[in-house]
């Protein structure tokens, strides 16, 4: 066990991922077509959409005209994640290593956790999930720039390290840490950084880099659950369905949507980028590769690095129940779609309603199930316009 300390480092860069790019709301037709060469998994297996205990109804509310952003915590310096904590509080993590309580309108002055982190490049506090009223599991870059996943006891500040992973570069450090339907922790890690899968991790199943890692929260035992990802900076688990925003390189961003299964998936990087063969390949073999549900081209509304979002399960906007909201670090737009169990439907661009708040670092969900958009200078709640 070790006692956490705080280093006051100023967040300078976005925690998305270097060289990343945006996602298009309609899958594009490949210009350099992958070849199937047998029975390939070119789309997610069909699965019924997740259900919730009670389905919101729109009968008692006025018609939804649009959405808007409500500023709730302006001036908060580089928030990177927001998650429900207790019945009346959420937690907000800042890139510099601090985690504060949040009641829906105010971020606490004093942090509950102060972690010494490196914030060079794309490093810092990158994600967390709540283990209980007094426990939080955190993912951050330590002072050497390496990945650390640990369990922190809030009342004492003590830390139990579960996993460390050496990072060869300061970008593509991944981000999200979230409990899955099996009670295990899932962690997104990039391919090690650089360009063109410089370190050869994308298709290497002997490393934890370039994929989604499954961690036993009790023992700390870890394994590579899915691979072939460039930088899965933000993913979201809704029931037993995974939504993964994987940041691309030269031309395309992608969102992968797959049902949970024990043996995971190969998402193709660096064989594929989005729905295309990764340049300079003119054709590629995609047998065994799971292709994305949504692709976003880099010439689409200023996209450069997809910011994977969350599935709405709140009560204020019942019309959006089950819809996945997402954005892009550079483009700053707001889009959504509904996964019907086999494909993305009901695509919607809400940007004309809400505007562009700046660089979108992350989404978050509070203790009431409502959704927030996080930018380097503050937190905004997504609210209905009726």
Q: For residue range 250-282, what is the model confidence (pLDDT) as tens digits?
A: 899 999 999 999 999 999 999 999 999 998 777
Which residues of the chain are under the pLDDT cut of 70? Answer: 1-59
Interatomic CA distance for residues 208 and 189, integer angstroms: 7
> Cβ neighbours of residue 299 under 8 Å, at least 6 residues apart?
none
Domain of residue 311 covers 2-24+61-385
**Phi, psi angle pair for 319, to nearest 5°:** -65, -20
- Domain assignment of residue 37, yes or no: no
- Domain assignment of residue 44, yes or no: no
User: What are the tens digits of pLDDT across the range 90-138?
Assistant: 999 999 999 999 999 999 999 999 999 999 999 999 999 999 999 999 9
- What pLDDT score was predicted for residue 39? 34
pTM of the model: 0.86
- What pLDDT score was predicted for residue 53? 42
Structure tokens at 289: 């590769």
CATH number of the domain to which 262 belongs: 2.120.10.30
- Domain assignment of residue 351, yes or no: yes
Could you tell me the end-to-end alpha-carbon distance of the chain, in angstroms, rounded to an integer? 51
What domain count does the chain have?
A: 1
- What pLDDT score was predicted for residue 368? 94
Residue 211 and residue 203 in contact, taking contact as beta carbons nearer than 8 Å: no
- Domain assignment of residue 48, yes or no: no
- Domain assignment of residue 326, yes or no: yes
The DSSP code for 320 is G
Interatomic CA distance for residues 333 and 150, integer angstroms: 33
Interatomic CA distance for residues 333 and 191, integer angstroms: 26
What strands lie across the sheet with 113-114, from one edge to the other?
A: 79-84, 90-94, 98-102, 113-114
Per-residue exposure over 77-111, b if at least 16 CB sit within 10 Å of its own CB, e if not: ebbbbbbbbeeeebbbbbbbbbbbbbeeeebeeeb
- Domain assignment of residue 35, yes or no: no
Within 13 Å of residue 195, how many CA atoms lie on the same side as its CB?
A: 9
- Domain assignment of residue 331, yes or no: yes
- Domain assignment of residue 43, yes or no: no
- What pLDDT score was predicted for residue 282? 73
Residue 346 and residue 258 in contact, taking contact as beta carbons nearer than 8 Å: no
Strands 284-285 and 34-35, bridge-based pairing = parallel
- What pLDDT score was predicted for residue 280? 74
């Amino acid at each position: 066990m070790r006692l956490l300390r705080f280093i006051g480092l100023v967040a300078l860069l976005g925690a998305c991922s270097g060289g990343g790019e945006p996602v298009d709301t309609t899958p594009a037709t490949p210009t350099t077509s992958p070849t199937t060469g047998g029975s390939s998994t070119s789309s997610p297996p069909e699965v019924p959409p997740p259900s919730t205990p009670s389905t919101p109804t729109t009968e008692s509310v006025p018609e939804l005209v649009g959405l808007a952003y409500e500023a709730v915590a302006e001036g908060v310096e580089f928030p990177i994640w927001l998650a429900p904590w207790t019945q009346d509080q959420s937690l907000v993590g800042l890139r510099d290593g601090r985690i504060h309580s949040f009641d829906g309108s105010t971020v606490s002055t004093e942090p509950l956790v102060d972690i010494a982190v490196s914030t060079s490049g794309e490093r810092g506090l990158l994600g967390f999930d709540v283990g209980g009223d007094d426990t939080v599991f955190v993912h951050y870059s330590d002072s050497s720039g390496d990945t650390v996943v640990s369990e922190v006891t809030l009342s004492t500040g003590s830390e139990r390290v579960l996993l460390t992973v050496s990072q060869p570069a300061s970008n593509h450090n991944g981000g999200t840490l979230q409990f899955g339907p099996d009670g295990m922790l899932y962690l997104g890690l990039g391919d090690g950084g650089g360009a063109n899968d410089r370190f050869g991790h994308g298709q290497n199943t002997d490393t934890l880099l370039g994929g989604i890692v499954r961690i036993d929260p009790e023992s700390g035992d870890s394994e590579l659950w899915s691979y072939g990802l460039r930088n899965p900076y933000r993913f979201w688990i809704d029931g037993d369905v995974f939504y993964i925003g994987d940041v691309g390189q030269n031309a395309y961003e992608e969102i992968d949507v797959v049902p949970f299964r024990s043996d995971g998936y190969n998402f193709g990087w660096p064989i594929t980028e989005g729905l295309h063969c990764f340049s300079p390949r003119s054709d590629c073999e995609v047998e065994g590769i799971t292709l994305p549900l949504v692709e976003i081209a880099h010439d689409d509304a200023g996209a450069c690095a997809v910011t994977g979002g969350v599935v709405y399960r709140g009560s204020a906007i019942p019309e959006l129940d089950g819809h996945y909201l997402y954005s892009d670090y550079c483009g700053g737009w707001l889009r959504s779609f509904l996964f019907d169990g086999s494909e993305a439907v009901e695509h919607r661009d809400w940007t004309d309603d809400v505007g562009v708040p700046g660089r979108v670092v992350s989404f978050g969900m509070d203790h009431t199930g409502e959704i927030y958009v996080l930018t380097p200078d503050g937190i905004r709640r997504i609210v209905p316009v009726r």
